[in-house]
Amino acid sequence: MKEKLNYSYYPGCSLHASAGEYDLSTRELFKKLKIGLTEVPDWFCCGATPAHNVDELLSLSLCAKNLELADKVEGDLAVACAACFSRLKTTQNVLSESEVKRKQVEKAIDAPVILDSHVKHLLEILARDLGPERLAQSVNKPLSGLKVACYYGCLLTRPTDVPNLDCVEAPTIMEDVLKAVGAETVAWTHRMECCGANFTLSRPGVVIQLTNAILDSAKAAGADCVMVACPLCHGNLDIRQKEIEGVYSVNYNLPVFYLTQLVGLAVGLGPDKLGLAAMMVNPLPLLKEKGLL
Amino acid sequence: MQSLSRHFTLMSTVQFLIGGILLSIKGCFVKKKKMIISQETMDVDFVRKVEALSGTSVRRCFQCGKCSAGCPMATFMEHPPNRVVRLLQLGQWQRILAGRSIWYCASCETCTTRCPNKVDLTSIMDALRKLSWDAEGASKESYVQLANKLFLQNIRTYGRQYEMRLAAVFNVKSGQFLKDLMLGPKLISKGKLKMFQSKNKNLSEIEKIFTRIEEMRRKGEAL
């Protein structure tokens, strides 16, 4: 038996607002799996896409500040959001390569930059640090018969030039986790296509067009539901699903689960601890039909 | 609700069609400007700035078009990613900044990931957006820029993103009072939009970062 796993936790802004169920299910799942999780006190927004879109220095500084705050808490940094994950990793990569940029960022945050800390996505913790074998041992209600379309989205496996959680073009890390908890996964085309992300605010029409293609492909592959590991992907696929169905006159009715919700279900957590009631597309009929509730 | 959203879509489709017809009528009368490549029209200095900011050389691109093939947003752009690089190679940056391409880039990094010759297009797009602040004749793709601006203002004021406020202020400032109005009550009932959010205790630190960057920029010490 390996020693107890302990992490510092960076939830990111969405998990304290529109993705509350992701935060809840993550905390409950980690408690159940006996993995330590301590939230970084007073973390800031990482700047996400808008910051690096207009001001690289600001983006790097915000991430460097968060890395500094996280360093005060014991353990590797666990990140829930794919965008935060990508930004924090990119910052470490860019600043370790460019001394000029590092000096500027150090001046901006008035502190040394932490480059050697490990930033890990929740997926990585479940699939690598804990491992499929130990995860399978904790399962008491296998998700047998549930066909899941694993949606990676764009930022989870990027940037490419740093050691990352999986292959950039054909990752299998989500499938590995789901197989360990007994679910079936489908092969489908749009697993890594962008959902339009933060255009949901400024250009919802774009998001609706892109997400429709994703949901369409998942449905055509015979999936019962979609699994995501990013609050923005979830927002676009779940919250906008009714609207998409109206615009394109189709009926998808595909519940969109967070990774921690599906794994939590398999280790025996109830719907209230997974925040299933907060999902816009009601997953309860599907779960009842499959005998998982 | 569904019929209402379909109604809005129908309206925007009609608007789109009318807009298209008007544009094509205009196209019959206005002569298209031909691109002339000469020493006078090539602004190499600007391109060097893009290369310095992005840390990538546009000369590495051999126009295979893989970036545009994989780009999820290429259908919305007048210059798809590979053409953006081609225009940079030819020093025709004004054509890029006058259009909407850079503001329709989702920063998904597919282009950089797939480039066979290591052209970091994601960083080129970032550099172009940054240089468009001061560039003459640059397009103000207003909705995206407004959203970015409000997003950063939120970070400065609250330390974190305040989704409810972000969406509300965006709708007011962009004049789209009805946008996603039907979603609001549903989101609140699901607990997805918080009315109040706790402020960071160390808020003064974020203000200091913003101020220091502004000062560095004034002195010309920043990126």
The interface predicted TM-score of the complex, written ipTM, equals 0.92
Q: What is the pLDDT of residues B110-141, one digit of tens each?
A: 999 999 999 999 999 999 999 998 888 888 77
Nearest to B58 by CA among B17, B24, B96, B91: B91
Q: Do A155 and B112 touch (CB under 8 A)?
A: no
Q: Which residues of A touch B164 (CB under 8 A)?
A: 17
A109 vs B: CB within 8 A: yes
Residues 214-243 of A with CB under 8 A from B: 239, 242-243
Q: Which of B1, B3, B106 sits opposite A194 (nearest CB)?
A: B106
B140 vs A: CB within 8 A: no
Is residue B9's pLDDT more than 80?
no
B171 vs A: CB within 8 A: no
- Taking the CA atoms of A260, A262, A267 and A270 in sequence, report the sign of the dihedral they define: positive
Taking residues B217-221, report their average pLDDT. 90
Confidence band, pLDDT 50/70/90 cuts, at residue B200: confident
A133 Rama class: left (phi>0) / alpha (psi -120 to 50) / beta? alpha
Coil, strand, or helix at residue A190? coil
Q: How large is the angle between the packed helices B203-218 and B142-158, nearest 10 degrees?
A: 130
Q: Which residues of A touch B100 (CB under 8 A)?
A: none
Note the CATH architecture for domain B42-139: Orthogonal Bundle (1.10)
The residues, any chain, with a CB within 8 Å of residue A121's CB and separated by 6 or more, are A78, A79, A80, A82, A85, A156, A165, A229
A57 vs B: CB within 8 A: yes
B106 vs A: CB within 8 A: yes
Task: Give the pair of three-digit tokens for residue B72.
Answer: 């999820």
Interface probe for A, chosen from B71, B105, B193, B205 (most Cβ of A below 10 Å), is B205
Q: Do B163 and A47 touch (CB under 8 A)?
A: no
Q: What is the pLDDT of residues B85-99, one digit of tens each?
A: 999 999 999 999 999
Q: Do B110 and A194 touch (CB under 8 A)?
A: yes
Give the closest-approach CA distance of B80 to chain A in angstroms.
Answer: 16
Q: Which residues of A touch B194 (CB under 8 A)?
A: 16-17
Residues 17-56 of A with CB under 8 A from B: 17-20, 41-45, 47-56
Q: Do A159 and B109 touch (CB under 8 A)?
A: yes
Q: What is the pLDDT of residues B145-186, one digit of tens each?
A: 899 999 999 999 999 988 888 998 999 999 998 888 888 888
Residue-level pLDDT at B135:
86
Residue-level pLDDT at B1:
46
Taking residues B179-207, report their average pLDDT. 84
Does residue A251 contact residue A245 with C-beta atoms inside 8 Å? yes
B184 vs A: CB within 8 A: no
The number of angstroms, rounded, from the C-alpha of A220 to the middle of its chain's C-alpha atoms is: 24
Q: Collect the ranges in chain A with pLDDT lower than 50.
A: 1
Helix ranges restricted to H, B66-178: 66-70, 81-89, 93-98, 110-114, 121-131, 142-158, 163-173
Residue-level pLDDT at B24:
65
Residue A47 CA to residue A277 CA, distance in Å, equals 29
Nearest to A196 by CA among A155, A158, A164, A251: A155
CB pairs under 8 A between A and B: 185
Q: Which residues of B touch A46 (CB under 8 A)?
A: none
A169 vs B: CB within 8 A: yes
Bridge-based pairing state of the strands A184-185 and A147-150: parallel
Q: Which of B3, B186, B192 sits opposite A20 (nearest CB)?
A: B192
Task: Give the pair of three-digit tokens for residue B59.
Answer: 């000369």
Q: Do A107 and B221 touch (CB under 8 A)?
A: yes
Give the closest-approach CA distance of B126 to chain A in angstroms.
Answer: 5
Interface probe for A, chosen from B5, B50, B119, B151 (most Cβ of A below 10 Å), is B151
- Closest Cα in chain B to A55: B130
Strands of A92-234 (E only): list them: 119-121, 147-150, 184-185, 225-228
B137 vs A: CB within 8 A: no
Q: Which amino acid, one-letter code, is at A75?
A: G
B188 vs A: CB within 8 A: no
The residues, any chain, with a CB within 8 Å of residue A43's CB and separated by 6 or more, are A10, A11, A66, A69, A70, B160, B200
Does residue B145 contact residue B103 with C-beta atoms inside 8 Å? yes
B17 vs A: CB within 8 A: no
Complete domains list, chain A, with CATH:
6-121 (1.20.1050.140), 140-289 (3.40.50.11810)
Q: Count other Cβ atoms within 10 Å, centred on residue B133.
A: 10
Residue-level pLDDT at B23:
62
C-alpha to C-alpha distances, A120 to A7, A116, A143, A152, B113, nearest whole angstrom: 9, 13, 26, 16, 20
Ranges of each domain in chain B: 42-139, 142-218
Residue A118 CA to residue A71 CA, distance in Å, equals 10
Residue-level pLDDT at B27:
59
Q: Do A57 and B222 touch (CB under 8 A)?
A: yes
3-state helix, strand, coil in chain A (%, to 5): 50, 10, 40
- Closest Cα in chain B to A213: B72
